[in-house]
Structure formats: C-alpha cells, structure tokens
Amino acid sequence: NASIEATNIAPTLDTIALFRNGTEIPVIDGWIVDEDEPIGLLVQADDTPNDLSSLAVLWDLSDLADGLEQGTVGPVSSIETSWSMSGTHRVTVQAIDDDGVASGTLEADVVVRNVAPTIESLDPTVAIYEDELLKLSVVVDDTASDVLNLTTCWDLDARIDTDNDGGATNDCDVEGVTLEQIWPEAGTRLITAFVVDDDGATASTNTSLTIVNLRPTAVISSVSNLSNLVEGDWLNLTAGDSLDTESDLISLTYVWDTDALPGAIDSTLPILQLEGLEPGTYSVNLTVTDDDGASHSMSVQLVVAEAPANNLVARAVEELGMTTTIIIGVLGVVILGLVSMLVLGRRGGAEELIETKSSMWDQAPVAATFDAPPAAPLPAPAPAPMAPMPDMNAQPVAAAPVPAPAQAGPPLPASGLPPGWTMEQWAFYGDKWLETNAPAAAAPQPAPQPAASADLSNLLDGLDL
C-alpha cells in the first residue's frame, strides 16, 4: 500500500492596475488622483483549479482613513473607489482560498490631491448711495466631500487688515454667501469675496464699490398759511422735514435768511421764529448742508396783510373799496342835506304864517263880502310860500266856474273863504279863525291829517335816489 498526502497550494496575485474613465494609468512613481475622483482598481489571482472559483480577494484602500475596505470572490477582482481625503494612501490587496491560506500582500501608493473650491465672479464695479443697502451674493462649489464644509467670507475694505496676517483681502469681516451691508460715508472700497475648503485651498473674486453722497433737500414747513398772515402775527418755520440719508440728517447744518429781519444770516437753528410781523411781502430762504459739503436751498414768500380796522368807515373801505365807499358817503350827505333843508324850510314858512294871522286876528272883524271894500287892508304877509294879497279896491270880476277842489280843513263860513286866505292856509288855521270870528257858526267837522305832513311825505317819496 502507498500513502499519498495532498497539500494545499496558496493562491497568488498579479500586479495591481489602476483605471481612470476606463483607461489604465501606468504607475510612474505612484498614482496621482483628485479628491472624490472615481477610480477603478483591478488585480488577477491564481490558484489550483478547484480553488479558483472560491478565492476571496480583500482590498484595504487607505491607511489614512477607516472604512475603505472592499472584497470580491473569484480569480479576477475589480472595484470602483474614490478618496475624499487628500494625501498619500497605501493600498493593499490579498487573496485567500477556501482553506484559509492567504497569498502574499500587494501594495501600491495612491496620491490624492485636494481640489480647490471655485467662486463665481462679481461685477467689476458697483455704485450705491450713502446708507443704501448693498446686497451681493456669490455661488461657490467644490468636490462632493468638500462642498458641505466650505467657508465663504467677505473682506469689506482692502485698506484694513483686520486679522493682521499681512493679507489685504483675506479678512473674514462678514461670513456667508450673501452680503447685506450699508456704508454711511462716501468713498471707494474694494470688496473681496473668498471661499476656503477643509484643506485651506481658496478661491476669490472682488468688486470696486463706489459709495456716493446723496445731496440733502431743504424743506420749509409751517402750520400757518404763509399767504394769509396778518400784521402782528408770530410765525414759526421749521426745517425738520428736510431730506437726507439717515446718517447725514443728524449732522445737517441750517442757514436761514429773510428780509423780514436785518442781517445776512438770521438763524442757524432748525427753527426760525418771526415775531410781530409788519405788513408787506417777505422772502425766506433756507440752506441745508451735509457733512460732505453738499447743500440745497429752498425759498418761500410771506404775505402779511394789515390788521383789520375797528371803525365803520375803515371796514367799509376794506369790504367795498375806497371808490364805492366815497360814492356812498357823498350820496348819504346829499340826502341828509336835502331832508334837512325841506324840514327847516317848511317849519320857517309855518312860523311866518302864524305871525301874519295873529296880526289879522287882532283887527276888527271884516264882513266877508265883495260888494264894498274893507275898512282897512290886512297887513301884507311875508313873501313865499303864501299867495299875494288881492287888491281890495278893485271890483270883482266874474270868473269862469272852476271845479271845486276837495275841501281840506273845517267847513267854510257862509261868507266864503276869508279875504287873502288860501285853501292850504284854511286847512291849517281855519279852526282858529272860526273860534275868533264866527262863534255862532256851526261846529266844524273833524279836520283830516294836516296837509303839511302829507306834502312833506310826498316830497320825500319823490327823492328817488
């Protein structure tokens, strides 16, 4: 009998091959790849025919990071991998058969290079006003493993090295992909945006920012109506509604000038007070100036009327005008004069008539007949408005009959109207004559309203002015 001992043969491995995009990359002082770059690795194992199909091939892809192990079964082992950490990674591979016998270990170094981040460019120039909000944004990118760990910063002024590292544009004054900032002072700034990955690689872009001073706007305000002022009024004018950027408003300077006050500069305060205004038209000028020397002016006009008069004539002149007031005054004087003349003239005639009739009544009674002349003539009455005395020596002449006018006053005596009398006189003084010369005469009838008053009323009614 013969005894045969069968021994296991250990598997073997061929060289490692590296592929990029399906193309094998030759080994020249190691392989060089980028972070997160997809890479293919391949190795060929060998063993006895009955062990080939069950060979296990184990990969350890890095000695710098954990968790980068892979494995395959079969004589040909091909894997896909990438490295997220930059540096030189030692790759090892080993084959093990079903009896647990391992091949020798193959090693290869893979250099993983860091990929710098990227940042989109800003517009080369930007201009804003003082205190105007500037909003800028950038888009940054990097490899998949670094993009979530990027840091984006803004350096707001290249003239100032905030971190004192000697770099003019790498100060992280504001962090984030979006910048929202205002500047209170005019000038020019170099704004830089930059991004940093976990390996310290950076990318940056910048823009030249021009900050423009906004000129102020002068505004004069008042609660009073500037065109409806009256003599003696007090007036407050304010510059509080003047316009400028927020940071300049607190430093505005004010200059007031008005011809209502003496001098070229009447006030440098925000409020101008005018007291006891005189009648006239005045101009008021306001000039406001900001801290950059920019200025603006505004002017208004004041109209101050004379104070209203307290007497009737002055008020009439104010309401109706001088010409109309004079005409009305003249007409009033004329009317008063006419009325006074009429009243005084009528009163004087009545007094003369009373004196004349008193002298007549002192004489002996005269028969009222025209057949013989009277014993003595009556005294001549005063001229106007009585009728002249008739010639008592003349023989009466028959006159044509005239319609008798409506009688006024007491009834005439049987002898007729006394010689030298008129019906107007009889209407006024007939009663007295009857009492003196004809006591036996019939009682007189009630006399109507005296004709003098009626005549005066008619005269006044006829003054159609």
Instruction: Tell whether 195 and 274 lie within a shared domain.
Output: no
Instruction: For 419, list phi and psi in degrees, rounded to 5.
Output: -60, 140
What is the DSSP pairing of strand 187-196 with strand 140-141?
unpaired
Cβ count within 10 A of residue 444: 14
Residue 400 lies in a domain: no
* Residue bearing the bigger pLDDT, 205 or 416: 205
DSSP-derived letter for residue 424 is: H
pLDDT at 377: 47
Query: For the chain, what is the mean pLDDT?
Result: 82
Least confident of 87-96, 263-272, 295-304: 263-272
Residue 317 lies in a domain: no
Per the structure, the count of domains in the chain is 4
- Which two tokens mark 263? 């001098």
> b/e for 7-42, b at 16 or more Cβ within 10 A?
eeeebebeebbbeeeeeeeeeeeebebbbbbebbbb
221-264 pLDDT, tens per residue?
998 888 788 988 889 999 999 999 999 999 999 999 998 888 77
Instruction: Tell whether 253 and 377 lie within a shared domain.
Output: no
Residue 5 lies in a domain: no
pLDDT at 338: 85
SS3 85: coil
Secondary structure E strands in 61-168: 69-73, 76-81, 87-96, 106-113, 118-119, 125-129, 134-137, 140-141, 151-155
Residue 165 lies in a domain: yes
279: pLDDT strictly greater than 70: yes
Instruction: For 333, list phi and psi in degrees, rounded to 5.
Output: -65, -45
Domain-ending residue, one of 179, 212, 245: 212
Name the one residue in this structure whose structure tokens are 């020397």. 293
78: pLDDT strictly greater than 80: yes
29-58 pLDDT, tens per residue?
679 999 999 999 999 999 999 889 999 999
Task: Report the sign of the C-alpha dihedral through residues 302, 307, 312, 314, in that order.
Answer: negative
Instruction: Tell whether 369 and 425 lie within a shared domain.
Output: yes
Least confident of 279-293, 311-325, 419-433: 311-325
Claim: this prediction has a pTM higher than 0.75: no
Across 405-431, average pLDDT: 78
DSSP-derived letter for residue 185 is: S
CA 368: distance to chain centroid?
102
pLDDT at 59: 97
| Domain residue limits at 458 | 326-390+406-462
Domain-ending residue, one of 87, 113, 139: 113
